[in-house]
């Protein structure tokens, strides 16, 4: 699979068969009443949770790029995200903040959460997800800077392993003026910290 294209096409039948094998491996009977529909439901669930492979985030952004003489920070914060950790296929969830400094081009605001969803609905690690969102915005809009921060809770840390219920992972990707200008970076971090505190 590549970053912008779809992953390998796997039909529901293959996914359902794999789920049956997993259930048998757990010592369960996939044909018993409570589990008879589980392979189908899991296949449908995975198809939705990984639907981001079928969309090109850069094309989505290009659909709504507009020429505009606006040069102040654009920030979309508290974007809910849900994804699957590629190491354990267990969910992680949280919120994403995305900001950019326009350079004669802006993008429709609804496209920012859409980009977050496209990348989140793939098997992911939080670090890569953060960078992918920032790089897509940078490539398509070509702003003076992009900043992305994700704060997420990982069920693979909460339900298993270290079992730390209150841990939050925070990742960031700062490009352009958000990286080079302490003032710009400080303004961005100040705006999102108000959200975090609330």
Domain boundaries, the chain: 12-49, 63-197
SS3 66: strand
Range 124-133 average pLDDT: 98
pLDDT bin (cut points 50, 70, 90) of residue 198 is: very low
Q: Which strand ranges, in their side-by-side order, compose the sheet holding 169-176? A: 123-124, 74-85, 91-101, 145-154, 169-176
State in words which class domain 63-197 has: alpha beta
**77-99 pLDDT, tens digit each:** 999 999 999 999 999 999 999 99
Which residue(s) pair with 129 in the sheet? none
Q: Cβ distance 185 to 142 under 8 Å? A: no
| Cα 80 from Cα 26, distance rounded (Å) | 33
Cα 122 to Cα 53: distance, rounded to the nearest angstrom:
6
Nearest to 93 by CA among 49, 39, 45: 49
- Measured CA distances, 111 to 59, 86, 89, 159, 161 (Å): 10, 25, 27, 33, 36
Of the listed ranges 15-19, 72-76, 184-188, 190-194, the one predicted with least confidence? 190-194
- How do residues 5-59 score in pLDDT, each as one tens digit? 444 456 889 999 999 999 999 999 999 999 999 999 999 999 999 999 999 999 9
99 close to 188: Cβ distance less than 8 angstroms: yes
Q: Cβ distance 144 to 101 under 8 Å?
A: yes
Average pLDDT on 63-68 reads: 96
pTM of this structure: 0.89
157: pLDDT confidence band, cut at 50, 70 and 90?
confident
Catalytic residues: 85-88, 126, 154, 156
């Amino acid at each position: 699979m590549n970053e912008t294209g779809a992953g390998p096409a796997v039909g529901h039948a293959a996914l359902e068969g794999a789920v049956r094998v997993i259930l048998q491996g757990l010592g369960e009977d996939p044909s018993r009443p409570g589990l008879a529909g589980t392979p189908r439901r899991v296949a449908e669930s995975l198809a939705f949770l990984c639907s981001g492979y079928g969309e090109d985030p850069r094309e989505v952004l290009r659909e709504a790029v507009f020429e505009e003489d606006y040069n102040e920070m654009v920030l979309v914060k508290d974007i809910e995200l849900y994804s699957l950790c590629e190491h354990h296929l267990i969910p992680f969830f949280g919120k994403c903040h995305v900001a950019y400094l326009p350079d004669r081009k802006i993008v429709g605001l609804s496209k920012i959460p859409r980009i977050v969803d496209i990348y989140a609905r793939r098997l992911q690690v939080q670090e890569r997800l953060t960078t992918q969102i920032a790089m897509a915005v940078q490539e398509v809009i070509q702003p003076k800077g992009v900043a992305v921060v994700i704060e997420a809770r990982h069920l693979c840390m909460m339900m298993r392993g270290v079992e730390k219920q209150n841990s939050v992972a925070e990742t960031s990707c700062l490009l352009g003026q958000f990286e080079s200008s302490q003032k710009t970076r400080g303004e961005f971090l100040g705006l999102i910290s108000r959200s975090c505190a609330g």
